[in-house]
Amino acid sequence: MPDSFTLKNGLKTTLPAGFLIGHAQDEEAATGCSVILCEEAALAAVSVRGAAPATRETDLLDPRNTVERINAVVLSGGSAFGLDAAGGVMRWLSERNRGFRFAGSCVPIVCGASIFDLGVGSPSVFPNNDMGYAACVAASSTVKTGNVGAGIGASVGKILGTDYSMKSGIGCASIEFGEIIVAALVCVNAAGNIFDRSTSKLIAGVRNPFDNGSLLDAYQAFSLMLQSAEKPPSQPTNTTISCVITNGVLTKAQASHVADMAHDGYARAIEPVHTGFDGDTVFILSSTTQPCSSDMIGILAARVMESAIHNALHSAQSAYGLPAASDFADTVSLSIPW
C-alpha cells in the first residue's frame, strides 16, 4: 500500500499511459486550441456548472445515453466559433481509422468546450479545422503550459472590465498514488481572482485602478463597480474549461460524479466562479486500467484541479497589454484584506 501522494505540475506533470496533449495557436490573433487524444477510446463524462457554456457533444456523455467511450476532447478559444476546431481533430482521427465503428464506417467521437477570448487579440479570428488538426500533430506526453493552445488568449480578473484584467493561460498538474494517476489540464479564463489557500494570498485577479501595483479582492472590485458614477463595464464573458485524465476504473455514472467533484477545485481557487456568464465545464477521461475507489478519484481530481489552476497563472507570461502574476510577485503583497 503506498504511503504518500506525489503532486507535480507544469512540465513535470505525469499523464496516464495512452493519453497525449497537443496545442496549436495563432499568436497574433491571440486564440488557439488544445486537444487531449486517447490512443485507445476512453470512458468519458462531463459536468457543466456555468450558465453560459459553449460545448460540443456533451449530451452524448450523459450516463443515460449509449456511447461510453470517446476519442478526444478539445478545449479552444473563439467562443462558439472555436468549436469548429473539433472538425480538424475528427479528420486526424479518421485518417487513422479511430472512432465508433459500424456498418463499415468509422466516426470519431470528439467532445469539446470553448472559452470567450474575443476581448483579447482579434475578435474575428477563431480556432478552425486546420488548427485542430495541427494540435493533433503536435500532441505528446510532455505537457506545455502558459501562453499556449486554448490559453493563448485567456485572462482573469475581469470584474471591472478587461482594462484591469491579467494574463492567464493553460495549466496542468497530476497526482500519483501507487499505480493510480489523476491529471488535469485546465484553461483558466475567469471573471474573478485566483486564490492560493496555502498562502491565503491572491495569485492574480482584478488590478486596482487607483494603484497599479496592487490587486483588489473580488468583493472590493464588485463594491467599486457598484459605486462608480460611470457606466459599469459590460458583464464579463468568461469560462474555465478543463479535462481530468485518469487510469482509474470508473463506470460512466461514477465518472460523471468525479467530474462534479472536480469542480470543487474550481471553487477553491477561483472567486467568483460558476456565474451566469461562465461556461465552466469539466470533462473526464479514464483508461479504466487500475482498480480504485471512485470517491478517491474525485477527491484527487479536486486537488489536482486546484493545483493546475495555480499552474496556469504561474506559467502565464504578460502579453497583449495584460500583465501576468510573475510581474506582481516581487513588488506587492497580494494578501486578501479580510
Q: With respect to residue 338, please indicate whether it lies within any of the assigned structural domains.
A: no
Return the pLDDT at 184. 98
- Summarised one tens digit per residue, pLDDT across range 168-207 is 999 999 999 999 999 999 999 998 899 998 888 889 999 9
Return the CATH number at 264. 3.60.70.12
Report residue 176 as a C-alpha cell.
Answer: 500519483
Share of the chain above pLDDT 70, in %: 93
Total domain count for the chain?
1
DSSP 3-state of 32 = strand
Query: What pLDDT is stored for residue 216 in this prediction?
Result: 86
pLDDT at residue 307 is higher than 50? yes
DSSP 146: B
Separation CA 100–CA 328 (nearest Å) = 49
pLDDT at residue 336 greater than cutoff 80: no
263 vs 160, more confident: 263
Find the domain containing 85 and state its range: 6-327
Between 244 and 218, the more confident residue is: 244
pLDDT value at residue 234: 57
The pLDDT confidence band at residue 333, using thresholds 50, 70 and 90, is very low
Q: Which residues make Cβ contacts (< 8 Å) with residue 84, sequence separation at least 6?
A: 78, 126, 127, 128, 129, 132
207/329: higher pLDDT: 207
Report helix, strand or coil for 233. coil
Strand-pair category, 281-290 with 241-248: parallel
Neighbours of 178 (CB within 10 A): 13
pLDDT (tens digit per residue) in 232-285: 555 656 789 999 999 999 999 999 999 999 999 999 999 988 888 788 999 999
Residues 90, 91, 95, 101: is their CA dihedral positive or negative? positive
Closest among 59, 50, 101, 61 to 285, alpha carbons compared:
61
Q: For residue 335, tell me if it sits in a domain.
A: no
Supply the pLDDT for residue 329: 59
Residue 331 confidence (pLDDT) = 40
Q: Of 14, 113, 103, 104, whose CA–CA distance to 55 is shortest?
A: 113
Mean pLDDT of the chain: 90
Q: What is the mean pLDDT of residues 17-25?
A: 97
In a domain, 1, yes or no: no
In angstroms, the CA 92 to CA 78 distance is 21
- Measured in residues, the chain has a length of 338
User: What confidence score (pLDDT) does residue 50 get?
Assistant: 80
Minimal CA–CA distance to 282: which of 254, 260, 298, 303?
260
Amino acid (1-letter code) at residue 28: E
CA-derived radius of gyration, the chain: 19
List of residues 6+ apart from 266 with CB closer than 8 A:
49, 240, 273, 274, 280, 282, 305, 309
As given in the structure block, the three cell numbers for residue 243 are 479535462
Domain-embedded: residue 19 = yes
Map grid coordinates 468525479 to a residue.
258
Has residue 94 been placed in a domain? yes
